[in-house]
Amino acid sequence: MEKDAIARAAVPGTVRGMVGQLATLGLPAGATVIVHTSLSRLGWVAGGAQAVVTALLAAIGPDGTLVMPTHSRQLTEPADWGNPPVPQSWWAVIRAETPAFDPRVTPTNFMGAVPECFRHFPGVRRSDHPTVSFAALGPDAGRITEGHTLDDGLGEGSPLARLYEADAWVLLLGVGHDNNTSLHLSEYRAASASSRWLRQGSPILVDGERRWVEYRELADDTSLFEPLGKDFAAITGGERVGPVGSGTARLMRQRALVDFGAMWLSRRGSG
């Protein structure tokens, strides 16, 4: 992996260089921004994930708020696991014995090195949802992460909706729209009576006691996110593209994206 990153980079990525690239891209100081990253696609970065987080915080400054998804899908219903599946005889043990979600210590899962590094930064706050939490650092971190509801994990009770209210930015660093969690809010807003809801379960603390709690979540379809994002860029012109490190960055306003996505998905569902 590191060999590929070196081959992809003409020069090493640095904090100073990335701060300048983010400014050129148009990320303003004082912004509230949700970031999705692939460290390996940024080329070789001096300082790795720590350098990326440091550059992001420097780019938005002390008045800005940095947000990242810190999802932990290892705390979901084991009967639904497919990457990889586990034997059915294990399901009851997993439900009974997996430690409850703890925003301070539960690791991220399939999120990459940058969010896992970010959640350890001093002062970071993390929302309480056991599988689709978000971490934030900055003046607006508390408002964004508080009150994350169990049954509406990526909908109106989520940090995504708080980011929408704040007219935040979305920054994709080396990844495409298939990693753009804000489009899940579009899915919730486009949901109809025919939408499919899944039974979910997770270990959480209830009045200080570990319990396996069942709840529901909207079945997503991230295969639609890339064509949706392509249409957003082409039709609205609302996506800025430029280099960060040796990778490609995409910057857009979250509210415009979510509104477009809800309309796009609603039309597709009605068609």
The number of CA neighbours under 13 Å toward the Cβ of 148 is: 26
**pTM of the predicted structure, to 2 decimals:** 0.94
The 10 Å CB-count burial string (b at 16+, else e) for 38-72 is: bbbbbbbbeebbbbbbbbbbbbbeeebbbbbbbbb
> How far is the C-alpha of 238 from the C-alpha of 44, rounded, in Å?
29
CA-based nearest residue to 153, from 204, 112, 116: 204
pLDDT per residue as tens digits for the range 206-255: 999 999 999 999 988 899 999 999 999 999 999 999 999 999 999 999 99
Looking at every residue in the chain, the average pLDDT score rounds to 94
Give 271's pLDDT tier (boundaries 50, 70, 90): very low
- Across the range 8-14, mean pLDDT stands at 82
pLDDT per residue as tens digits for the range 170-210: 999 999 999 999 999 999 999 875 688 999 999 999 999 99
Is residue 5's pLDDT more than 90?
Answer: no
153 or 5, which is more confident?
153
> How far is the C-alpha of 127 from the C-alpha of 138, rounded, in Å?
14
SS3 of the chain: helix, strand, coil, percent, to 5 = 40, 20, 40
